[in-house]
Structure 1
Amino acid sequence: MDAPDLVVPVREVAVNEQLRYALRTWTANLPHRRVWIVGFRPAWLRDVGHIPTRQAGTKYANTTVAVRAACEHPEVSERFLLMNDDFFVMQRQADMPVLNRGPVREVETYYAARASGPYLAGMRKTRELLAELGHTDPLSFELHVPLPVDKTGMLKALDVGRRLAVVHKRTLYANLADLQGDRIEDVKVMHRGPRFPHGPFLSTMPDAFTHGMVGGHIRQAYFQPSPYETPGRR
């Protein structure tokens, strides 16, 4: 099987050092054909595909627009890996596995005990939609790790979830495609302290990356520029 493309929705931001180091980890550890930046393209990038999108909505709506644009682009590989610009692949992956976060009902309970808001509401609405479609106990795929996607299936999922203000598109797609995979804990690091996952995947909040020990760990391990960086450009 040919190596997949990497599809990365990117918001408009002046500095994106997380993306720079994410690309370094993907170059070292994640076999791929081409990188596609969807949305905002930082000036220091080179040798990537770019699909510009209008980012006029919420962050949830903007990423949905980005994923649809990638799926509709004829040059993006039929099978691709859906990334974020803060996903770090720290160990070599011959082929990216499918990973889940366990039942949506459990993830929903976890978030409901801590906060409310559009993300939790979208999780609940996505679970209810899946139940209407016969998936009575769906798995959550809202992890900060790459997700293998096929364009046809994702477009179907986005059409099915079009009426939701916040659609959990990874979860909707993966359940409609009958994906399962292995269960893991999420790898997002939100603090500056020394405790963070030391497995194959990491993700960081901007502050944790810039000021935290996890960010120092990533920068020390991947100090060599990737082929996607224009020399001397920050």
Structure 2
Amino acid sequence: MEAPDLVVPVREVPVNEQLRYALRTWAANLPHRRVWIVGYRPAWLRDVGHIPTVQGGTKYRNTTVAVRAACEHPDVSERFLLMNDDFFVMQRQTTMPVLHRGPVRDVERYYAGRGGGAYLRGMQATRDLLVELGYDDPMSYELHVPLPVEKTGMLQALDVGRHLPVVHKRTLYGALAGLGGQQIEDVKVMMRGPRFPHGPFLSTLPDAFSHGMVGRYIRSAYVQPSPYEIPGRR
């Protein structure tokens, strides 16, 4: 089977060192055919595909627009890995496993304990939609790790959830596609301190990456530029 493309929605920010180091980890540890940057393309990138999008909505709408644009692009592989620009693959993967976060109801309780907000409302709305469709206890795929996606199935999921102001598209797709997979805890690191996962996957908030021990750990492990960087360009 041909290696999948990597699809990365990227917002417009003046500096994106997380993306630089994420690409280094993918080049080293995640077999793939081509990298596609969807949205904003930093000037230091080379040898990547670029799908420009208008980022005029919320971050949730912008990423949904980006995923749809990738799925509709004829040159993106039918099967791809959906990435974020802060996903780090720290150990070699032969193929990317399907991973989930457990039942949505449990994830809802976690976020409800931290307060409400658009993200939680979107989670609840996506779960309610899936229950209406016959998925009584859906799994959450809202992890900060790569997700294997097939274009046709994702487009169908985006159409089903088109009316939701905030759609949890990974979860909606995972349920409708019957992905299954293995449950893990999320790997997002939010703090600067020494406690962070030392498994195959990591993700960071910008502050934790720039000023925390996890960022130091990632940068020291991947000193060499990837094939996707123009040397010396910021």
TM category, shorter: over 0.9
Aligned to 2:55: 55
Aligned to 1:66: 66
Aligned to 1:111: 111
Once superposed, which parts of structure 1, at least 4 consecutive aligned residues long, lie more than 4 Å away? none
One-letter amino acid of the structure 2 residue matched with residue 212 of structure 1 = G
Mapped pair 1:175 → 2:175: yes
Aligned-CA RMSD value: 0.3
Please give the alpha-carbon distance, in whole angstroms, between the structure 2 residues aligned to 1:225 and 1:166. 36
Give per-residue Cα distances to partners, 1:86-129, cap 9 Å, x unaligned. 00000000000000000000000110011110000000000000
Classify the secondary structure of the residue corresponding to 2:63: helix
Aligned to 1:82: 82
Report how many aligned residue pairs link the two structures. Answer: 234
**Unmatched runs of 5 consecutive residues or more in structure 2:** none
Give per-residue Cα distances to partners, 1:159-188, cap 9 Å, x unaligned. 000000000000000100011110000000
The 5 A counterparts of 1:198-217 are: 198-217=198-217
Mapped pair 1:19 → 2:19: yes
**Unmatched runs of 5 consecutive residues or more in structure 1:** none
Give per-residue Cα distances to partners, 1:59-112, cap 9 Å, x unaligned. 000000000000000000000000000000000000000000000000001100
Give per-residue Cα distances to partners, 1:24-54, cap 9 Å, x unaligned. 0000000000000000000000000000000
Please give the alpha-carbon distance, in whole angstroms, between the structure 1 residues aligned to 2:75 and 2:21. 25
Q: How high is the sequence identity, in percent, across the aligned residues?
A: 81
One-letter amino acid of the structure 1 residue matched with residue 172 of structure 2 = L
Bigger mean CA deviation after superposition, 16-25 or 110-119: 110-119
Aligned to 2:149: 149
Please give the alpha-carbon distance, in whole angstroms, between the structure 1 residues aligned to 2:106 and 2:69. 31
Mapped pair 1:126 → 2:126: yes
Please give the alpha-carbon distance, in whole angstroms, between the structure 2 residues aligned to 1:2 and 1:175. 25
Aligned to 2:5: 5
TM-score (norm 1): 1.00
Please give the alpha-carbon distance, in whole angstroms, between the structure 2 residues aligned to 1:33 and 1:182. 25
Mapped pair 1:40 → 2:52: no
